[in-house]
Every structure is written in structure tokens, then in C-alpha cells.
Amino acid sequence: MRILCLHGIRMNPTRATRLIFLLSGVGMASWAPMVPYAKARLGLDDGTLGLVLLCMGCGAAAAMPLAGFLTHRFGNRDVIGVSGLMVCLALPLLTLAPDAWALAGALLFFGAALGVVDVSMNAHAVDVEKLRGKPMMSGFHGLFSVGGLVGSAGMAALLKAGAPLTGSAIAVSLALLVIVLTQWRHFLVRHEEAQAASRAPFRMPGGAVFLLGFLCMVVFLAEGSMLDWSAVFLRFSRGFDASSAGLGYAAFSIAMAACRLMGDRITAHVGPVAIVRGGSLIAAAGFLAATLIPWGPAALLGFVLVGIGASNIVPVLFSAAGRLGGASPGVAIAIVTALGYAGMLAGPAGIGFVAHLSTLSIALTGVAGLLVIVSLCASIARR
């Protein structure tokens, strides 16, 4: 682990990057066990819940272009720090909303905070890769998945033990606050190459970047459906009680974290095209197992397969975006990241609409179909 010393201050940007990915995963996943509580407490049907969840995506979509401008103008350090504080503030607000409108506003703020964190932390990860001179993206995303496990399982454990919902959210927020305050000074403002690129004229990348962004959007939609709908699916379609419904996202996160932590070695062995093609088909099979086999353990196994299959697709696509010519790697990765996270945050709202018109099982089966399309476009990862 490389430690920098700038102006007499010892810095550890690699550790700080790992911890901010962990923070993002914990913050986002802590929402998953709260969704059934919000649905039941406010009396929301699937369609209304889908509309409310759309606000999370709208907040992220509105904030991501601003995040790109802010990191371009001021660098990554303060953007990560301030947006990390916003995530800490937003979590308790989600539990205090007295009606659907208030929950929508809280999710708008929560989505905006997560969107800025996600864009700035991925930009920072690219800078750290350049600093270290080796691929590290899968490992960083692995820490995001570990955060998903810790956030969902930790929140579910607190609720299972009888802790109040708001108290549980405050406890998670305080833990995240410690990460933000202790790591803030360790983040890079920007890498030297990014410093030069920030003064260059803006160039719009070609169509390959937008195809990579679409593929990321589908994969992130699959991940987002696990975040927002796995607990609802287990609770209302497979008979799990409310306190254990978060186990679905935990199972997904365990599988994804384990595979991402080995992701750099796996990709070097089988190649990026095989990662995208095989992974998307495995994830599609997981959705089909969960929805077509009417048995609770089969749903959990299906969510594990989704985690295994989807685990290393996005890091591979981010790396492919960074290798494309015609524009700076930072601009290409920013576009792919924004499109991808739009799928994670806004896509599950579409699942709610389809579920309202049909069933949640049919809506999740549709995600499997989109993943098959990703497998057909896997050759783009070679670029």
C-alpha cells in the first residue's frame, strides 16, 4: 500500500478509496431492509412504491452532471467529503417521512448524495490506478459489495434484535461519519494527468462509450432490482417475514463481494469478453431461478447467481471505457458511470410499473431478458 507525503502530510489514497467504496455500499444497502417497512407503514402498493423509488433515481440523475463539473473544477477530495456527509444525513431522514411525498423528497436527497459519491469515487479510483500503475477497479468495487453485505445484514440484524428503525439508521450514519472524517485528508485532489486534462477542451466521446454505458445501465439495473425489490419479493411473493427479507440482498452481496475481490485475477485469466458474456448469462439464470421456482431457498440461490454473474462486468466495462480513444479516459468513464448508475437508481422504478401491471415475478424475469442482450454485445469489452 503506497503512502504519499505531500507538503509534510502523510496520505494514504488507496486506503481512503477502499473505505469510500465501502461507505457507498453500506449507505445504499442499508436502504434495502427499510423498503418493506416503508411500504407497509405508508400503505403503498407496488405502483406507488415504484413512483416513490423513481425519486431516488431522479436525484442521482440530476446530481451526476453537477458532480462531473465539481470534480473537474475542484478535484475529487472535497466533493467526496461533502457528498459523504450528505449520505450520513440522508439515511435517518428516510425513516422519518410521514407520508409518500416526504419519503419521495428524502429519496431525492439520498439519491443525489449517492450519485455524487459514486461519480467522484470512481474518478478517484481511476487516479489511484494511475498512481499505483496497476488495475485495481475490481478490488475497489469488491469493497462496495462488502459494504452492501455489511449494510443490509447489519441493518437487518438491528431490526431483528428489536432496535427502532430510526435508531438503527442513526447508528449506521454515525459509523459512516467516522469514515468520512478520518479519510477526508487522504483523498487526492486529482492525479497529475487529470490535472492536465482538466485544462483541455471538452470532447464528446464516440458511440462506443454510449454502448458501454447502455451495458452498464442494464447490469446496474439488475443490481438496483436486488437493492429495491429483493426484500419486497421475498416478503410478499415467497412468504419471508419482514425482519428476514433483507437476507436476499445479503446473499447477493456475499456472492458479488467474493467474486469481485478475486476479479482482477479472474479477468486476467479468462479475458474481458468472457467476463461480460458468461457473467450476464449466469445473472440471467439467477433471475429465472428466483422467479420461476416457487420456493424460498431457490430465490436465495437465484440471488447468489445474480451476484456471481454481475460481479465483474461493470469493472471490466469501466476499464474498456478508459482504453477508448478519441476523448480523455476521465470523460468516457464519467459518461459510462452516469448511464450505469441511472440504471441502478431509476430502473427499479420501471420494475415497479411493470409489477403493478402484471406481477413482480414477471418484471424481474424481464431483467433476465435484458441481461441476454448484454451477452450478445460482449465483444465491445475487447476494445
Q: Highest mean pLDDT range out of 80-84, 265-269, 346-350?
A: 80-84
Residue with cell 431490526: 159
Asked if 77 and 9 touch (Cβ cutoff 8 Å), the reply is no
DSSP code string of 64-125: HHHHHHHHHHH-HHHHHHHHHHHHHHHHHHHHH--SHHHHHHHHHHHHHHHHHHHHHHHHHH
* pLDDT of amino acid 8: 47
- The x, y and z cell numbers of residue 100, run together, are 409518500
Fold of 10-191+203-382: Growth Hormone; Chain: A; (1.20.1250)
326: pLDDT strictly greater than 70: no
203: pLDDT strictly greater than 70: no
* pLDDT of amino acid 86: 96
172: pLDDT strictly greater than 60: yes
DSSP strands (E only) in 209-306: none
Q: How far apart are CA 327 and CA 206, in angstroms?
A: 8
Q: How confident is the model at residue 325 (pLDDT cuts 50, 70, 90)?
A: low
Average pLDDT of the segment spanning 324-328: 61
* pLDDT of amino acid 302: 92
DSSP code string of 3-20: -EEETTEEE-HHHHHHHH
The DSSP bridge pattern shows strands 9-11 and 4-6 to be: antiparallel
Average pLDDT of the segment spanning 167-187: 93
192: pLDDT strictly greater than 70: no
Q: Highest mean pLDDT range out of 4-8, 156-160, 177-181?
A: 177-181
- The x, y and z cell numbers of residue 218, run together, are 442494464
pTM to 2 decimal places: 0.76
Residue 19's Cα: distance from chain center in Å?
15
* Bridge partners, residue 5, by sequence: 10
Residue type, 175: A
Tens digit of pLDDT for each residue in 293-306?
A: 888 888 899 999 99
154: pLDDT strictly greater than 80: yes
Q: Highest mean pLDDT range out of 21-35, 171-185, 195-209, 332-346?
A: 171-185
* pLDDT of amino acid 1: 46
196: pLDDT strictly greater than 70: no
* pLDDT of amino acid 287: 94
* pLDDT of amino acid 330: 57
DSSP code string of 116-176: HHHHHHHHHHHHHHHHHTS--HHHHHHHHHHHHHHHHHHHHHHHHTT--HHHHHHHHHHHH
Average pLDDT of the segment spanning 332-337: 77
Lowest-confidence segment of 2-6, 40-44, 324-328 by average pLDDT: 2-6
Q: What is the C-alpha radius of gyration for the chain, rounded to an integer number of angstroms?
A: 19
Residue type, 154: G
Q: Which of 27, 378, 343, 291 is nearest to 175 (CA)?
A: 27
* pLDDT of amino acid 73: 78
**pLDDT mean across residues, the chain:** 84
102: pLDDT strictly greater than 90: yes
- The x, y and z cell numbers of residue 224, run together, are 438496483
* pLDDT of amino acid 267: 83
Lowest-confidence segment of 95-109, 141-155, 187-201 by average pLDDT: 187-201
* Domain residue limits, the chain: 10-191+203-382
Count of C-beta atoms within a 10 Å radius of residue 134? 8
